[in-house]
């Protein structure tokens, strides 16, 4: 039984990332506690790189925004799932902002041991996910995290395009495999 936080990086509610994350969560909920956190529900500013979190009590960030709510969730998470649309071969800016705000040494208090990756993109190019997968692997290595798996979905553009796709079942199965 793990505590799983799924960060959904699309502002488009009910979009392809959202639906993929929901399928994953339905599978994962069978044996874990799962919280789906959508960037559309939180206002998180980009990191300003002041590094003052290194010296502030509790390594708190100087910025007063919704990231404080997300820090609290991550303090209780064993597994973090990153779900994003592909934007110019990267993850969305909103999800990247949350990740960058983990610059604070506070992150060392988080119990996260595993990461998983859920991605959707419109193109069907073989190399569509290469840059994100590379960054994901480097982050896994640097933080000594385990890869819990990934579901990568090509050819979904408009809202709901992912409906009926085999990828939803794949995401559900990935969720079910976690404990
Ligand atoms: C700003 C922006 C950049 C995008 N860049 C790419 C891209 O580089 N490659 C791609 O295949 N799709 C790209 N897309 C398409 C989205 O990845 C695709 O529509 C996806 O299904 C959106 O997910 P959502 O429904 O969860 O918002 C882009 C979309 C937007 C809005």
pLDDT in tens, 140-175: 999 999 999 999 999 999 999 999 999 999 999 999
- d(CA 157, ligand 1 centre) in Å: 6
pLDDT in tens, 13-23: 999 999 999 99
Please, what's the largest Cα pairwise distance for the chain? 50
pLDDT in tens, 85-136: 999 999 999 999 999 999 999 999 999 999 999 999 999 999 999 999 999 9
Give ligand 1 pocket residues (Cβ under 6 A). 10, 12, 15-18, 85-89, 120-123, 128, 156-157, 159
Query: Model pTM?
Result: 0.98
Residue 78 has a CB neighbour count (10 Å cut-off) of 17
Cβ atoms of residues 160 and 16 within 8 Å:
yes
For residue 158, give the ligand 1 atom closest to its CA. 19
All domains in the chain, ordered by first residue: 3-177 (3.40.50.360)
- Which ranges of the chain does DSSP label H, i.e. alpha helix? 16-28, 67-74, 93-100, 130-143, 166-177
């Amino acid at each position: 039984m793990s505590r799983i936080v799924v960060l959904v990086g699309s502002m488009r509610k009910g979009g392809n990332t959202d639906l993929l994350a929901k399928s994953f969560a339905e599978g994962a909920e069978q044996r874990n506690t799962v919280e789906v956190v959508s960037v559309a529900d939180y206002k998180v500013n980009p990191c300003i790189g002041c590094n003052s979190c290194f010296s502030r009590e509790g390594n708190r960030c100087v910025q007063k925004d919704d990231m404080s709510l997300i820090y609290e969730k991550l303090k209780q998470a064993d597994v973090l799932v990153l779900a994003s649309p592909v934007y110019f071969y990267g993850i969305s800016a909103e999800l990247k902002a949350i990740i960058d705000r983990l610059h604070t040494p506070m992150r060392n208090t988080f119990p996260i041991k595993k990461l998983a990756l859920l991605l959707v993109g419109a193109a069907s190019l073989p190399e569509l996910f290469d840059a994100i997968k590379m960054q994901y692997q480097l982050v896994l290595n640097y933080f000594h995290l385990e890869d819990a798996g990934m579901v990568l979905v090509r050819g979904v553009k408009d809202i709901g395009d992912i409906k009926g796709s085999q990828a939803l079942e794949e995401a559900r199965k990935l969720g079910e495999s976690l404990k």
